[in-house]
Amino acid sequence: MAFFQGLLPVQEAKRIERKAVALLRHPSFPSRDFVAGGLFGSSAIIKRCLVVLGTMLADGAAWYLPSLVLATLAWTGAFHIDPMLRDRPWLRRLYWWLPPVLVAGLLLNRAISLLSLDPAHNEVALMLSDTSGISERLQVLFTGHGAIEGALLALLLFALGAHRLPSLRQTSDSTKAFVRVRLMVHNGFWVLLLMLLLLSMDAHTSLETLPSDPTVTIASWMKLGWVVLFTVLILMSGELIASTSHMALNHETTLLFQRATLKISLALPLCWWAVLQTEVFTDDWWSRPSQRSLDHAALVVVAYSTLVGWSYAPLTRTEGRFSHHVHNSTTLALGLVVMACVLFAGARDVALQIPVVGDGWVSASVAWRLTATTMLVGGVLMLLPSVGYDAAHRPESWWFRVGVLLTLSVGSAISSFVWILLPSLLLASSILLLLPWLVEVTHLGPPLRWSIVGFITLSFLFVLAADSPRAALIAAVVISALCRATEYGFVHRWASSLSDQKSL
């Protein structure tokens, strides 16, 4: 008791002590004999940690969640912070491990509350009863908020262990450190975004009014599988971002790029199928897109991963093949014009089909503001190569695409109108993937060139002719996959032509 009185007011310390005693004596607490006479019964330190975990978070430790947010936010500045801490190993380890330790504390607190059937815990009060068995408690843990917290922990731990990836086994220490820092930035950003989208304050506070019977149905184990699959999408997207940002320095991240491309290409069709089974892009969805937070977050993840896996990462690889081409500036300028025109036309067409937006000048104004915001963010990031961030083959183009990704992911958490851009954004990104082959490759004959131009034109008209935002989205996804397959064929044809020239 004296331990808590030195840290907390007396009444608060007594409340914590009573809660700890009730927790340890609860008949449904797992391994009760072990707790009473084993390690927990003999170690005062572990008992104190158990008590603190039982009372942390929003209602027991107001500092916990802000500390987690600030520690994770510091990861997004790992470009500068990690090198600065190189001569201070203890502080550097604290910087690395504080976010995953805090997230692990969230998960451990939830596990203790669920396994002990703490009646004040929200998921226990809403989903479980006094007679719920261990299987039901574990199902709630692995399919409820615990699944989300486990995904956040996986993102953080994956970034810390990125230098041990099999794809980097033969690379230099500098390349391994480069990839780890980039994944810390990428995954730290996504942890913050997912906490904003999925982890409300209600998930970490006790209920004031406890229902007499469970009112929420326990989710099926299938939900855990989907959480794992969408987490893999984020991980593979981070690998592609990290590998493409390093390709101008050397080719050590090529294997990482190839394996991540293969895995994300296999996962994306399944994830799109899952998202399109929901109410995404229906009239009811547009009125409150964040009402079903899991569906909303799933759309953010799959849209982001599609742009990275099927358009931007392959485009970076293609730019590396023609990095010193005389017409590379022409490709960049034409790409910016195509992006702006397709975004405005496609967004205006989608906005006209949404009742909450309006018609006429209102929809045109919304489309113009969204297009201008996207181009502005991308244009501002294009200045970063001038201050040293130029490790990609064409850094201005690479940073512009990062700006587009930021607009989609962050903007969707701020305003639902950002989703108006999604069909046209997928279409424009697919066109950008084919532009270098039209402008910079000389061995493509006129019939093939005109076929590509006709395909792009028909794709644009097909998306505009869709009678609903959902149909426009499906058409854009299919076109994006077709363009990726076409680009893959061009890569192999280009490689075979080079081998033929060498043989001659």
Question: What was the pLDDT predicted at 448?
Answer: 80
| 306-343: burial string, b at 16+ Cβ within 10 Å, e else | bbbbbbbbbbbbbbbbbeebeebeebbebbbebbeebb
pLDDT-based confidence at residue 289 (cuts at 50, 70, 90): confident
**Range scoring the smallest mean pLDDT among 92-101, 251-260, 324-333:** 324-333
DSSP state of 203: G
Q: In this structure, is the dihedral angle defined by the CA atoms of residues 356, 360, 362 and 365, taken in order, positive or negative?
A: positive
* Cα angle, residue 397 at apex, residues 395 and 398 outer, rounded to 5°: 60
Q: The whole model's pTM is what? A: 0.84
Q: What's the count of helices (H) and strands (E) in the chain, helices before strands? A: 23, 0
* pLDDT for residue 200: 66
Residues 111-149 pLDDT 10s = 888 888 877 777 777 778 777 788 888 888 898 888 999
User: Is the Cβ–Cβ distance between 114 and 128 less than 8 Å?
Assistant: yes
Is 90 exceeded by the pLDDT of residue 442?
Answer: no
Q: Which residue has the tokens 């022409």?
A: 330
Output the pLDDT for position 205.
Answer: 61
CB 257 within 8 A of CB 314: no
pLDDT the model gives residue 21: 43
- State the CB neighbour count (10 A cutoff) for residue 100: 21
Radius of gyration, alpha carbons of the chain: 26
Report pLDDT for 203: 58
User: What's residue 236's pLDDT?
Assistant: 96
pLDDT tens digits along 176-218: 999 999 999 999 999 999 998 887 655 556 656 666 666 677 8
| pLDDT value, residue 96 | 94
Six-digit token pair at 281? 């892009």
**What pLDDT was estimated at residue 326?**
66
pLDDT value of residue 61: 67
Nearest Cα neighbor of 181 from 252, 82, 313 is 82
Residues in the chain: 504
Q: Kindly state the average pLDDT of the residues 437-448.
A: 76
pLDDT for position 57 = 55
Structure tokens given for 253: 């991240």
Q: Is the pLDDT of residue 25 over 50?
A: no
* CB proximity list for 43: less than 8 A, separation 6 or greater: none
User: What is the arithmetic mean of pLDDT over 152-173?
Assistant: 93
Give per-residue pLDDT as tens, 296-316: 899 999 999 999 999 999 998
Report whether pLDDT(420) > 60. Answer: yes
Q: What region, left, alpha or beta, does residue 200 occupy, with left being phi > 0 and alpha being psi -120 to 50 degrees?
A: beta
Closest CA to 289 of 407, 405, 411, 372: 411
Alpha carbon distance 49, 69 (integer Å) = 22
> Which secondary structure element, helix H or strand E, spans residue 71, and what is its range?
helix 64-75
Q: Which class for 137: exposed (0-12), middle (13-18), buried (19 or more C-beta within 10 A)?
A: buried
The mean pLDDT value for 279-287 works out to 81
For residues 122 and 205, the answer to whether their CB atoms sit within 8 Å is yes
CA separation for the pair 257, 260 (Å, rounded) = 5
**Rounded Cα distance, 289 and 144, in Å:** 20
Tokens of 368: 């113009």
Strand, helix or coil at 325?
coil
Average confidence (pLDDT) over 15-42: 40
Of the two residues 128 and 240, the one the predictor is more confident about is 240
pLDDT at 32 over 70: no
Q: Does residue 468 carry a pLDDT above 50?
A: yes
Q: Cα(first)–Cα(last) distance of the chain, in Å? A: 86
So what's the pLDDT on residue 37?
Answer: 34
Range picked from 114-128, 149-163, 319-333 for highest mean pLDDT: 149-163
Give the pLDDT score at 208. 60
| Cβ proximity of 114 and 121 under 8 Å | yes
Query: Residue 47 to residues 20, 79, 163, 446: CA-CA distances in angstroms?
Result: 8, 39, 36, 76
